[in-house]
Amino acid sequence: MIWASWSDFWAMGGYALYVWGSYAVVAMGLLLEVRSAVLRQRRAIAHIHDQQEDTDL
């Protein structure tokens, strides 16, 4: 697709809400997945540390 101007690009041929909304949903999903992975990693590391402290006693 060839756009004559930036406003045509942002309008996406009349499908801007669908196109940019889809990008927003995917970006939000990716951000939530990364955040979830970081939290799971922190919990796993804390659990390992707790187990090591229990065995050191």
Max avg pLDDT among 5-19, 25-39, 42-56:
25-39
Is the pTM higher than 0.85? The answer reads: no
Q: What is the pLDDT of residues 4-28, one digit of tens each?
A: 999 998 999 899 999 999 999 999 9
Distances (CA, A) of 56 to 16, 23, 29, 49: 60, 50, 41, 11
Confidence of residue 3 (pLDDT cuts 50, 70, 90): confident
Domain boundaries of the chain, sorted by first residue: 12-56
